[in-house]
Copies of this chain bind each other. A is one copy, B any other.
Amino acid sequence: MPTPTLEDVARHAGVSTATVSRAINTPDRVQEQTRLRVEAAIKTLSYTPNFGGQALASRRTNTVGAVIPTMDNAIFGQALQVLEESLAREGVTLLVATSQYNREREEAQVRALVGRGVDGLILIGAERPPAIYDMLDQRELPYVILWVSSGEGRHVTIGFDNDAAARMVVQRVYDAGHRKIAMIVGVNAGNDRAMKRAEGARKMCAELGLPALRIVESSYTLEAGEYAAQQILSNGERPTAIICGNDVLAAGAIFAARKLGLDVPRDLSIVGFDDIDLARVTLPPLTTVRVPHRRMGRTAARHILDWIRSDQRPDSVVYDAEWVERQSLAPPAM
């Protein structure tokens, strides 16, 4: 016996398909008795509504899509986890796709999700081809952007100020006494979070009267971070502190330092960004910046659902990024 349809249920319960549909979607609009008959039929046939049919007829999918750069590390895991839970609680399914930090791939994924009829979209960062936003606007598809604070009024963003956070990091490192600072940051192209962090740090250095900040771009793996740090530590004047665009890079930098026989933080301070699990277990534990993962996830869920249901565009939200002092930052040795 193939998958049962609404019609099978109707036949089984001795009613029309319309009644079955009502019994499912608006149980109050159906007599108690018939409702029970329908429910029984559904159970015995173990009927599940066909998604395609539902989507086609109701023009809604109860689905929200999210495109994140990667699932390979824990950076987006927490936010996603909370997002998923919050949506599930409202009967909405989350579809997750990844872009591998790649522009074209992200565009394709957005289109794929839109094509699947998602009722709303969660995106990371605001930097992407305008054509995408045009498409979303044209379809009046609600979307919310996480991890940044400036949608320049055009977008609903739920995040934090990467620029300000990076400035804070530099300030703290400066306050600890460091004057020779370098930075490792994720590839900037198409990644406004990385870019803003680099920019903020650069400007803050300038404001503090430090020499131009040396910034090395790196891809997003532990090994890449290690390699970048090794470059920094082997060529040119050696910094006393390295600021990293995320915790994975920072962990890599710790490796590089250790291999060169440098003690962290005595010989070299290293600061991370994100505060993922990993930041607590490195040795020394990473001094880093805590990103409001869970709050972003929860708020994103609420906002996108509000928007979908009320058809009213919600406001942007800016959370604070929090300085987390552990043990990888110390005053420089004399």
Partner of A46, one of B53, B116, B117, B138: B138
CB-based contact A280/B112 at 8 Å: no
Residues of B within 8 A of A98 (CB): 81, 84-85
Task: Mark out the residues of chain A between 35 and 78 whose CB falls within 8 Å of any chain B CB in the assembled complex.
Answer: 46, 48-56, 61, 63, 70-74, 77-78
Partner of A56, one of B52, B134, B222, B278: B52
Task: Mark out the residues of chain A between 213 and 266 whose CB falls within 8 Å of any chain B CB in the assembled complex.
Answer: 222, 248, 251, 254-255
Asked if A168 is an interface residue, CB under 8 A from chain B, the answer is no
Partner of A81, one of B71, B84, B114: B71
CB-based contact A277/B117 at 8 Å: no
Distance of A138 from chain B, by nearest CB (Å): 7
Residues of B within 8 A of A281 (CB): 222, 251, 254-255, 278, 281-283
Distance of A96 from chain B, by nearest CB (Å): 5
CB-based contact B49/A52 at 8 Å: no
Residues of B within 8 A of A330 (CB): none
Residues of B within 8 A of A77 (CB): 71-74, 77
Residues of B within 8 A of A73 (CB): 74, 77, 277
* Partner-B contacts on A (CB < 8 A): 1-3, 46, 48-56, 61, 63, 70-74, 77-78, 80-81, 84-85, 88, 93-98, 100, 111-112, 114-117, 131, 134-135, 138-139, 222, 248, 251, 254-255, 277-278, 280-283
Can you give 25 contacting A-B residue pairs, CB < 8 Å? A2-B139, A46-B135, A48-B111, A48-B135, A49-B115, A50-B115, A51-B52, A51-B61, A51-B116, A52-B52, A52-B117, A70-B81, A72-B74, A73-B77, A73-B277, A74-B74, A77-B77, A84-B97, A94-B96, A95-B96, A222-B277, A251-B281, A278-B278, A281-B282, A283-B283
